[in-house]
A and B are shown apart, each in its own frame.
Chain A
Amino acid sequence: MIEARGITKRFGDFVALHDVSVEVPTGSLTALLGPSGSGKSTLLRVIAGLERPDAGTVLLDGDDVTARPPQKRGVGFVFQHYAAFKHMTVRDNIAFGLEVRRRPRAEINKRVDELLELVQLKGLAKRYPAQLSGGQRQRMGLARALAVDPKVLLLDEPFGALDARVRKELRAWLRRLHDETHTTTVIVTHDQEEAMEVADRVVVMNAGHIEQAAPPRELYDAPANEFVMSFVGPVNRLGDAFIRPHDVELSLEPNGATQEAMVERLVHLGFEVRVELVRDDGEELSVQLTREQAEALELVNGQIVYVRPTRQTIFTP
């Protein structure tokens, strides 16, 4: 269990974290989600001991580690830009943590072989990081962090530098890995889809504080405020009401509750069709339909349709 209590961290005049408290239950996979500058990476680095907080305490399994340097915290850390040891082979990179602990040679070799298998880099053990793709480098980074059996695994935007396809693969792979090992894991990301897909719990951060911490579904269905509502998924704003694009009904005929709107643009994204509309009062509205729905309506640009929100959220300040 990771507990951060009342963490404040300033960089000069900039307050990166303002009195932040968060708990990560043992065995969970928690995402810290937020835009850049929200303090999510700083919080992760404070947990790892790579930054020292100006105020607050960090507890790992009940031990106060706030004053402890990173090498004595028993954390595994994975960096966005891999932080590969450039002058070492893949094998030596992975073995590093065990070697500085002076473990017996045979034990190191056995453990490294297991990890090479786990991250599917078996044939590349003798390569140098410069000879690997980004995805391979990051898997090496993960194996390196896991080699020392860390109490917690901390990942700082681990897939941020990878292309979309590799990112998706590694995301699924990370989830499977976690389901097997149950290492308490915290992943920092600015990608809401990644957070929702991979994590059991998502902590949404903004401007140095926590907006909401909840399981992905709850976050989406019952966002605590405007920020969370608009950060965890696309949203339309009509007056005080927030409406998800899939919570709008489109019809070709008016009926009492509908409003008139004109189709401005149609975007076909495979199974999903996004319809950009302008209502008669000038408000813009984005609607998400399935392909069947869109085909049934035979929508074209410039067409007049009638819209009705089926579900909307209003936050009372």
Chain B
Amino acid sequence: MGRYALRIGALGYLAVLLLAPVGLVFYRAFEHGFWPAWHGVTSPDAVHALKLTLVVAAIAVPGNMIFGILCALAIVRYRVRGFGLVNALVDLPLALSPVVAGLSLLLLYGRGGWLGGHGVLFATPGIALATIFVSLPFVVREVVPVLREIGTEQEQAASTLGASGLQTFLRITWPSIRWAVAYGVVLTMARAVGEYGAVRVVSGRIVGQTETMTLYVGDRYQDFQAQAAYAGSVLLALIAILTLLLMNRLRPKDETR
């Protein structure tokens, strides 16, 4: 009995809080058929928003991937002085509200800020910075435990066998961490595409210029263009589902071998 109650409880919870709302968005998007939804995401503004989202992701994801790998190596392997603090700080974007992240960028780059007046705010660079900020921890968080687990002996063995630092990384370390990196990248990607709060603060929301897909959805809804908002939502949801499928493909692989 208990088992069934637990199962029904869990499924019910998921259904009410997750499936129903997302399903409703799909329903609303296609309520009047396929074409209105199609026009919703193929209007010039929507296409621009999607492009901007992808451009921003293309900046933030590789950036955070490289930073994440280097940062994890520094934390685990090289015991660089001060990296204990870095290890703690890396989680800050997870704990901090994105709005605060956006505001802090606004203060830094805005009028009168330390680095103000370089065309960063209300433009792609500002949006990219905000996105980098909120998606920073994922690769580090995935790679650090794997590096800890594989230990240093294989790398030391490689170095006694004559491998340079780079050879050791490419031939020994990388094959061990690549699935963790891939998983971290997928999470980073999901966050970069889905970010709303921080981006909203720094973008200025200029239609057709600084609107990402999430902002496009939010703004269309507020402008009573619900159809376009639903269609955009469906697109974002499809990207999310694709991400989930990717994650599922990657997850088991890092446990074999």
Which residues does A use to contact B, with CB under 8 Å? 48-50, 69-73, 75-77, 79, 81, 83-87, 96-97, 100-101, 128, 130, 141, 144-145, 147-148
B156 and A50 within 8 A (CB): yes
B153 and A81 within 8 A (CB): yes
Within the complex, which residue of A79, A128, A144, A145 is in contact with B153, where a contact is CB–CB below 8 Å? A79
B153 and A71 within 8 A (CB): no
B162 and A83 within 8 A (CB): no
Q: How far is the CB of A184 from chain B (nearest CB, A)?
A: 15
B154 and A96 within 8 A (CB): no
B167 and A100 within 8 A (CB): yes
Contacts of B159 in A (CB 8 A): 50, 69-71
A86 and B176 within 8 A (CB): yes
- Chosen A-B contacts, 18 in total, with CB atoms closer than 8 Å, are A49-B160, A50-B156, A69-B159, A70-B156, A71-B163, A73-B160, A76-B160, A85-B157, A85-B171, A85-B172, A97-B161, A97-B163, A100-B162, A100-B163, A100-B171, A141-B157, A147-B161, A148-B162
B153 and A86 within 8 A (CB): no
Cα separation A96 to B158 with both chains bound (whole Å):
8
Which residues does B use to contact A, with CB under 8 Å? 153-154, 156-164, 167, 171-172, 175-176, 257
B257 and A86 within 8 A (CB): yes
Known: A100-B167, A128-B257. A86 touches B154 (CB 8 A): yes
Q: How far is the CB of B214 from chain A (nearest CB, A)?
A: 39
Q: How far is the CB of B81 from chain A (nearest CB, A)?
A: 15
Contacts of B167 in A (CB 8 A): 100
Within the complex, which residue of A49, A73, A83 is in contact with B157, where a contact is CB–CB below 8 Å? A83
Q: Which of A69, A70, A72: most chain B CB closer than 10 A?
A: A70
Cα separation A79 to B159 with both chains bound (whole Å):
13
Within the complex, which residue of B156, B162, B164, B175 is in contact with A97, where a contact is CB–CB below 8 Å? B162
Cα separation A85 to B151 with both chains bound (whole Å):
12
With CB as the reference atom, state the residue of chain B lying closest to A101.
B162
B154 and A144 within 8 A (CB): no
B160 and A50 within 8 A (CB): yes
A71 and B156 within 8 A (CB): no
Contacts of A86 in B (CB 8 A): 154, 176, 257
Q: How far is the CB of B88 from chain A (nearest CB, A)?
A: 22
Known: A96-B171, A100-B167. A87 touches B160 (CB 8 A): no
Q: How far is the CB of B152 from chain A (nearest CB, A)?
A: 9
B257 and A79 within 8 A (CB): no
With CB as the reference atom, state the residue of chain B lying closest to A154.
B160
Cα separation A101 to B167 with both chains bound (whole Å):
10
17 other contacts beyond A70-B156, A75-B160, with CB at 8 A cut-off? A70-B160, A71-B160, A71-B162, A71-B163, A77-B160, A79-B153, A83-B153, A85-B157, A85-B172, A86-B154, A86-B176, A87-B175, A87-B257, A96-B171, A100-B171, A128-B257, A141-B157
